[in-house]
Chains A and B, each alone.
Chain A
Amino acid sequence: MWSPLIYTIGSILNAVNLFTQGYFLVLYGDLEIDYINPIDLCNKINPYVIPDMLVHLSLCLILLLTGHFWTFLFNVPLLVFNYLSYRSGRSVLDATEIFKTVSKYKRNSFIRLIFHLFAFFYYIFNMIIAIIGHAVAQNESRPQLMT
């Protein structure tokens, strides 16, 4: 019975991730056309890197604790990816090396963006299914209550 709520939270948190990655990508693009300098870029991006990962981690925990195992499994690859990039110490940008590494960060951001985009539709779809399922369940249960 919690499913509609869980998927609503899921799609909201996921939208936050989606938005952050989109924002990063725009900034990387700005850097490549010299619209922003590396120092400003790092100041703008670095504060959001870890929170972005934490948002995704909290979503995964919610899914796990509420027993949405398949949805959790769907998120595991990104969870591992985030963990590895955190472990390597290269998750936050380094202003001194940025021009050597920006293409890699851009690619990573792009992969995350695609992932979150799919996930977004997945959550919306599941949310609708869950709401309908919930409504049907209530409908089915109503006559029983009447009798």
Chain B
Amino acid sequence: MSSHKRRQYPQQQIAAYDVSAGTEGAEGPGYGYGGEAYQYADQGGVFVPAAGAASIVPTPNQVSDQLGQMNVGGGAYYGAYGGYPASGPAANPNSPGMASPYSGAAPAAAPFGAPAPSASQHNASFNDLQTVDMIQSMPPPVNDLDLPPPPLAVPIEQTITRSEYAQASPDYFRSTLNVIPSSPSLLKKSKLPLALVVRPFIGLRDSDEQIPLIEDMCIARCRRCRAYINPFAQYTKGDYRWQCNICGCANDVPQNFDWDVQSSKTKNRWERSELNYGIVDYVANSDYLARPPQPPTYVFLIDVSVNAVHNGMVNCVAETLRQTLHSLPNSDNCTRVAFIAVDGALNYFQFPLPNPLKPDERQDARMLVVSDLEDPFLPTNSGTLVNLTECMPVIERFLESLPSLFANTYSSNSAMGSALKASLGLVKSIGGKVVCITSSLPSVGLGKLQPRDERKHLGQKSEHQLLQPANNFYKSFAVDCNKAQVTVDMFLVSNNYQDVATLSNLPKYTAGSTFFYPGWSAKKHSDSLKLQAELGGHLSQELGFEGMFRARATTGLHPSQFSGHFFVRSSDLMTFPTVSRHHSYVIELNLDETIKKPYVTIQGAFLYTSSHTERRIRVMTMQVPVSDQLSAVYASADQQAIAMWFAHTASEKALQSGFDAAHELINTRIAEIFKVFRTDVLNVHTGTSSTLSLSSNLMLLPLLAYALKKNVGLRRNNQILSDIRANALDLLQTLPMPNLIKLLYPEFYALHELPDEAGLPDENGNIVLPQRLNLTGEVLQSHGLYLLDDGQVMFIWVGNDVVPNLLMDAFGVETLDEIPSGKYEMPVAEDRELNCRIRNLINASRQRNDTVYFPSLYFVHQNCDQSLKLWVAALLVEDRSESDPTYYQYLTTIRDNLAAK
């Protein structure tokens, strides 16, 4: 049957990959595939939010200056975008009827008095279902991975102010289904998951985001369900009351809602940000404080045992910390720090305060050694946890001298467990961050770990046991940390077994991050560069403290499962001792009764203390239409969000029940989705068919799910060490959506065929990226030069027959032999344009403002190590691997199974 065939591409696609056709093929008009009438719009056409942003908005002048900046959320979202079929006139805010300026309060009454339209009337305005034949449309159009999700078909009359920005931007808050099935049975039948993907922050710093801030402390909330007022709420009784759109309760409008306290004037309530924007920040008043905001506090636990000294970690870390001290969040000069150096004992450091009488007197830190590891006590009451600004010179001198202090150490033990306990004692009353940087397994004191026998389990059914914590100490310690509002971050820098699976439990349940550096050595420049960049980047991001997240949804829908790095403190409350801004979370929703309303509202509220010790609430609201039609649900499903749900669910499954169970989960779910689409959406029940259909908006879901199976975290392979697995699974559960998609399906560019503008900054200063290639060896040409980037590592693949001119342009060398293989930085050849453009592309990936990961660069060519070649081959996910067939075969197998049933 066809499964024996090699993958067949449509004719024009072969032409596009042909050497002679070269770049013209790839840039050809329409980027058609499969010869179907259906075509994805060119990517350039999709991201023209400018029109949407310019045509704006009926709303007030006061806020209009922010609108231009908000176009990521609004414009791209609602604006005319070609990727998906238009969602009917009602949903299109740019249609002339909707654009009439909106002023004053009067018009508000009219639409809300009218009866709410029923679900069936609105079916017409849902996104159209476009069916694609998956096999015909090979290779998958991977450039569409960046497309926004299908729009939420909610007419603008639903919002109280006719604001285009009433829906939260999908960058922050999105649902896997942008049309929610009306009944639990329909949801079950659809086989699609219903979950929220939440990313409270999209940048590492406040300045990276533009969210309207409401500072007058007038926070209107529903008295029954505690939801916040939002653009979809309704006013009743002459605007004195508002009806909560989540529970339906009628509430009084707060007195100060129409009153500007600062200028003592009446305020136009329709200009208020919470009625115009789907995402707003409130400055919270003292009701939202459990205790006064605490200063940002950091405790650094630095491993100084023989391992750490020998591989150069101590040196590298001390240097990085010294440089990062000035960029730690320290807006009010109240940040506090402490340092504990850990070997077989705990070495505290006491920093003297500068003497005001003799400011020039040189003072040095004192080292206090505690060797009681079972019950680590604090050797002194003062001077260990000090104000960063006051003691900056002493701390800087201390960090300079730290490597020499332990240069001749012979202690090979590490009492990291006891050190963690000690650090908790240090900051118990304040909370904050404990940053643990270690290069050896905790071997003495509390929570000591043994190297586990990996060989016995690798490749066996019991392999997942290596991924479970070896020791209860770390989990119960995580609970203690949560009580004290302490987050633990782990930097595991080792060339030996590090038991990432156990140690990463601490960050996992305290909302921290684990960074893992296998085979690290300071002798390699790119290794120390990576550690420096990630440690520095992680520490200098703006923090949120004592965070809490709660999601609320219209009656009938409620959050049931939570996934990500945090602690679940009650059935619907996620808590974060400190908030890592580069994390994302998945919340599964349960539908437990039939929804009769045409729309449901989902609201997420994130309460946290900002680095400026100000309590803030970020409220994100979206309204989602409801339908009783399976086709409407399928036409509005969001493939990236579903892929993210798969990543979280499958990695959880792998930890609990093993890799086979995780693969099984993905396979069954994908096959079921195809089956439901065929029998219930398209109503095809009989006959063998040579097609495998799915709606166009879900077209890349099978590819992402297939790539997930081949991710290091889940791949079936008996060579992958458990540390690497554990770290990969950790990434699958924390990375925000764009980075996760990139991890699953790495970006792959042909550097020898870069379009003219690629690799150079556009008018906004962003580097233009070339078109992505499909991840298959078939696109590789032996005279080519390629860049493969998954956000964690980057590879430059140099073909065997590369012409010397290209080598000269790219690297400034003449022959292939002069290019190193393995982990190296890109050589700089200032006078070569191609070299600059390649470096621009690499830097663009490394200097993103939403992630702290710094991918290392590897050079791969014919002379390089076999394992490196295998590594790259494993990332070409569409190809055959040891345990999985090609993507084409995967699809044909599903098709044949479907036809056989």
Contact = CB atoms under 8 A, between A and B. Distances in A.
Interface stretch (A3-11, A92-100, A106-114): A92-100
Interface in A28-80: 31-34, 37-39, 42
B415 interface: no
A38 B475 contact: no
A38 B572 CA distance: 12
Interface size class of B (residues with CB under 8 A): 10 to 19
A32 B571 contact: yes
5 contacts: A31-B571, A37-B569, A96-B475, A96-B508, A99-B568
Given A39-B479, A39-B482, A39-B483, A96 B509 contact: yes
Contacts of B568: 38, 96, 98-99
Interface of A: 31-34, 37-39, 42, 94-96, 98-100
A100 B652 CA distance: 11
Interface in B472-514: 475-476, 478-479, 482-483, 505, 508-509
Contact of B478 (A34, A96, A98): A96
A8 to B, nearest CB: 39
Nearest to A42: B479
Contact of B479 (A31, A32, A95, A99): A95
A100 B571 CA distance: 10
Contacts of A96: 475, 478-479, 505, 508-509, 567-568
Interface residues of A, dominant DSSP: helix
Interface in B766-821: none
A33 B571 CA distance: 8
Interface in B187-234: none
B686 interface: no
Contacts of A32: 571
B562 interface: yes
Identify the 9 closest CB pairs spanning chains A and B, nearest first. Answer: A34-B570, A96-B509, A95-B479, A99-B568, A37-B569, A34-B571, A39-B479, A96-B475, A96-B478
A92 to B, nearest CB: 9
B64 interface: no
Contacts of A98: 568
Interface of B: 475-476, 478-479, 482-483, 505, 508-509, 561-562, 567-573
A99 B571 contact: yes
Given A96-B479, A99-B568, 14 more contacts: A34-B571, A37-B569, A37-B570, A39-B482, A94-B475, A95-B476, A95-B479, A96-B475, A96-B478, A96-B508, A96-B509, A96-B567, A96-B568, A100-B561
Nearest to A95: B479
A95 B505 CA distance: 13
Nearest to B508: A96
Nearest to A33: B571
A98 B475 CA distance: 12
A53 to B, nearest CB: 18
A96 B508 CA distance: 10
A31 B568 CA distance: 12
A13 to B, nearest CB: 29
B478 A99 contact: no
Q: Which residue, A39, A42, A96, has most C-beta atoms of chain B within 10 A?
A: A96
A38 B561 contact: no
Contacts of B561: 99-100
